Amino acid sequence: MNKKVLIPLISLFVVLVGVIVFLVLKNRQQSTEIQEIVEQMSFEKEMLEDEYEALAMQFDGYQAPDIHNDSLVELLTREKQRVQDLLEELRITKATNARRIAELKKELATLRAVMVTYVQQIDSLSQTNKQLVQENQQVKQQYQQVTRQAEQLQQERTELEQKVTRAARLEISSFAVTTLDRRDKKTKSFDKILKLQFDYTIGKNVTAEPGMKTVYLRLTRPDGDIMQKDVSHLFAFENKKIAYSISKSFEYAGEPVSGTMYWPVEEILQQGVYNADFFVDGHHIGSYPFTLK
């Protein structure tokens, strides 16, 4: 081939090879740059997802029972759902969709600002609730203290009333039983007893209320039965009606009063220990056992 033709062709071939090599190298560089950009965008998307998840967890950290404000709970619930919706959208959005990624970044910033506002309101409510709880505790303690004082005063009053009642209660200071025969003579023979004579003295008590009173004598046989002439002979004692054997009215003025009561023996007497119980003004004022044999 003619050198004049060959040399230009070789030169042209070299130039073409150089151009091809240049284009290949440039294409590789652009591909590498694009790959790096895609990787960077994917990384930024992952970071954005992490931030959304962190914000969602922050919303989850505030539970409805701890807030005590229905309106604020409703707002938190709505914003929490919006974070979840945007997070789901972000996950399915391609990393190369730079426009939507940028919009989601702006949404995240807005949601964070909203969250800050809600946190401030929640903290304010929490402080208010703590103050109210503290005040309520103080009021409760004061109420308990007043209640204890009232209970103590009531107890002291009750004890005082009991002391006054005990002090005003009459008492039997002496008691004696005499067995009598049909001639009202004293007898020691069990078979001849036809009447029981009970002599007693009600002691002095200046604190007792004066006036007409009734003393009730309740006789109990050895078998535990009450000796009674009439089933209608009942008197009030400790909110109920109980039987008595003999009763007698007397006037009391604070000084000792002696009296005698009789029980006609119309039943078959039992040998053994009897008991005589005295009652005045609804109080049991004396109990005395005695033996017949």
Alpha-carbon distance of 293 to 283, in angstroms, equals: 31
Alpha-carbon distance of 283 to 281, in angstroms, equals: 6
Stronger pLDDT, 178 or 165, i.e. the higher one? 178
Mean pLDDT calculated for residue range 107-128: 72
CA distances (Å), origin 153, targets 150, 161, 166, 230, 236? 5, 12, 20, 46, 30
* Whether pLDDT at 208 is above 70: yes
Within 8 A by CB and 6+ apart from 190, the residues are 269, 271, 292, 293
Q: Which of 82-96, 174-188, 215-229 has the lowest mean pLDDT?
A: 82-96
- 96 band by pLDDT with thresholds 50, 70 and 90: confident
pLDDT for the residue 116: 72
- Please check whether residue 253 is in contact with residue 210, taking contact to mean a CB–CB distance below 8 angstroms: yes
* Whether pLDDT at 198 is above 60: yes
Token pair recorded at residue 222: 């050895």
Token pair recorded at residue 116: 């800050």
**172-292 CATH fold:** Immunoglobulin-like (2.60.40)
Stronger pLDDT, 122 or 199, i.e. the higher one? 199
**How many residues are there in the chain?**
293
Alpha-carbon distance of 171 to 201, in angstroms, equals: 9
| Cα angle 64, 68, 69; round to 5 | 90
Query: Which of 72-76, 202-206, 226-230 is modeled with the greatest confidence?
Result: 226-230
pLDDT digits (tens, 9 = 90+) for 170-183: 999 999 999 999 99
Q: How many Cα neighbours within 13 Å face the side chain of 134? A: 6
pLDDT digits (tens, 9 = 90+) for 60-86: 766 655 555 667 767 777 777 887 887
Q: Which of 111, 106, 264 is closest to 184 using CA atoms?
A: 264
Amino acid at 23: L
Q: What percent of the chain has pLDDT over 70?
A: 73
Amino acid at 171: E
201 phi and psi angles, rounded to 5 deg: -135, 130
Alpha-carbon distance of 104 to 94, in angstroms, equals: 12
Alpha-carbon distance of 134 to 239, in angstroms, equals: 48
Helix (H/G/I), strand (E/B), else coil: 232: coil
Alpha-carbon distance of 21 to 280, in angstroms, equals: 134
Helix (H/G/I), strand (E/B), else coil: 282: coil
Enter the DSSP assignment of 226: B
Average pLDDT, the chain: 81
Stronger pLDDT, 154 or 286, i.e. the higher one? 286
User: Residue 137 CA to chain centroid, in angstroms?
Assistant: 14
User: What torsion do the CA atoms of 233, 235, 241, 242 make, to the nearest 10 degrees?
Assistant: -60
* Whether pLDDT at 166 is above 60: no
pLDDT for the residue 170: 92
pLDDT for the residue 196: 97
Stronger pLDDT, 57 or 291, i.e. the higher one? 291
Query: Which of 89-98, 155-164, 263-272 is modeled with the greatest confidence?
Result: 263-272
Alpha-carbon distance of 32 to 94, in angstroms, equals: 19
CA distances (Å), origin 249, targets 113, 195, 219? 94, 21, 18
